[in-house]
């Protein structure tokens, strides 16, 4: 069941699956993404494999604390510290951290800033937050660049139907080569919209944050078991980003998800879930 937890002075919506005595897996999603995008069947499969699974709504998403659109009362540093606050609120000493997209960036900083709280780290569909030497990483795919450059009227996020159509249209831009199950995705996104306090805030505020207490970080300092998973068809971060990230972290293992885009689609769960269970052993 969802619960509102007091975390670092604000309320964050958190949901858990499984038994608290099992190894904990904390799932951290991307910018503007609520917990809904860690799909319930995915979490249930991890829990059935003997893991205590935690997903949550970032600030301004889902049922977590929400601020006026354009006026977030927090920084990117707060998003980096919130996962530790959630572990504190749940009275958990350590967890296996799994971050996707922006959540992967949060997770990289988290494991460096709080190594005693992280049992293992998995970074999915993301890019290194730092490199030891300059790296010329490829830009996003041409179709994404064209979509971002196109002059389109703004979405009315207060209109659930317009918001749903906009979400689906944008999500397909990030998908890989697997068939896109639009009816299932519409059901998921409609559920997310219905439980979000202010969708305009969710779609605006995460993109205008001050970085907060930004630090120079060295990924070579990551000393926990680390897995890098990445779709071979990711149009946002081409696979070279994952290769660079894995090179920076001693002992990191790179797993490519054939056919996946900037996503973790159901078609790759049979590959991804055993990997997550394996790295989160007691």
DSSP designation for 18: S
β-strand partners of 16 = 54
268 pLDDT higher than 70: yes
The structure tokens listed for 206 are 């995460």
237 pLDDT higher than 80: yes
Three-class SS state of 74: coil
pLDDT of residue 282: 67
The structure tokens listed for 205 are 């505020």
pLDDT of residue 231: 98
The contacts of residue 140 (CB under 8 Å, 6+ apart) are: 235, 236, 237, 238
Euclidean distance between CA atoms 87 and 82, whole angstroms: 9
Query: What's the 3-state SS for 42-71?
Result: HHHHHHHCCCEEEEECCCCCCCCCCCCCCC
Residues 46-75 have a mean pLDDT of 98
Tens-digit pLDDT profile for residues 165-214 = 999 999 999 999 999 999 999 999 999 999 999 999 999 999 999 998 77
CA-based R_g, the chain, Å: 18
Tens-digit pLDDT profile for residues 115-171 = 999 999 999 999 999 999 989 999 999 999 999 999 889 999 999 999 999 999 999
Residues 56-64 have a mean pLDDT of 98
pLDDT of residue 216: 87
127 phi and psi angles, rounded to 5 deg: -135, 155
pLDDT of residue 151: 87
Tens-digit pLDDT profile for residues 76-120 = 999 999 999 999 999 999 999 999 999 999 999 999 999 999 999
Euclidean distance between CA atoms 8 and 82, whole angstroms: 7
Helix (H) / strand (E) element for 163: namely helix 160-174
The answer to whether the pTM exceeds 0.95 is yes
Three-class SS state of 282: coil
Q: What is the mean pLDDT of the chain?
A: 97
Is residue 158 within 8 A of residue 164, CB to CB? The reply is no
CATH topology of domain 2-279: Rossmann fold (3.40.50)
Residues 67-73 have a mean pLDDT of 97
The structure tokens listed for 266 are 């159901």
Nearest to 134 by CA among 238, 236, 248: 248
The contacts of residue 210 (CB under 8 Å, 6+ apart) are: 75, 76
């Amino acid at each position: 069941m969802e619960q509102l937890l007091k975390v670092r002075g604000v309320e964050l919506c958190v949901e858990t699956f499984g038994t608290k005595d099992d190894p904990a897996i904390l799932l951290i999603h991307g910018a503007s993404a609520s917990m809904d995008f860690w799909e319930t069947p995915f979490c249930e499969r991890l829990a059935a494999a003997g893991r205590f699974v935690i997903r949550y709504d970032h600030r301004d998403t889902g049922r977590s604390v929400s601020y006026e659109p354009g006026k977030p009362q927090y920084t990117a540093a707060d998003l980096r510290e919130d996962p530790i606050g959630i572990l504190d609120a749940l009275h958990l000493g350590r967890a296996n951290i799994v971050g996707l997209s922006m959540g992967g960036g949060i997770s990289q900083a988290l494991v460096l800033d709080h190594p005693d709280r992280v049992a293992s780290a998995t970074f999915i569909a993301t890019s290194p937050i730092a490199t030891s030497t300059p790296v010329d990483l490829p830009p996003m795919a041409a179709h994404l660049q064209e979509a971002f450059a196109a002059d389109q009227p703004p979405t009315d996020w207060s209109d659930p139907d317009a918001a749903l159509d906009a979400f689906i249209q944008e999500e397909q831009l990030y998908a890989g080569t697997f068939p896109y199950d639009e009816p299932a995705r519409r059901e998921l996104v409609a559920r997310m919209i219905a439980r979000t306090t202010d969708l305009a805030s969710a779609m605006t505020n995460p993109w205008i944050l001050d970085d907060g207490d930004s630090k120079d970080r060295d990924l070579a300092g990551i000393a926990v078991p680390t897995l890098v998973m990445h779709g071979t068809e990711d149009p946002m971060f081409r696979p070279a980003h994952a290769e660079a990230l894995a090179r920076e972290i001693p002992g990191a293992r790179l797993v490519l998800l054939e056919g996946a885009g900037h996503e973790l689609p159901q078609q790759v769960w049979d590959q991804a879930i055993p990997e997550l269970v394996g790295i989160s052993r007691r």
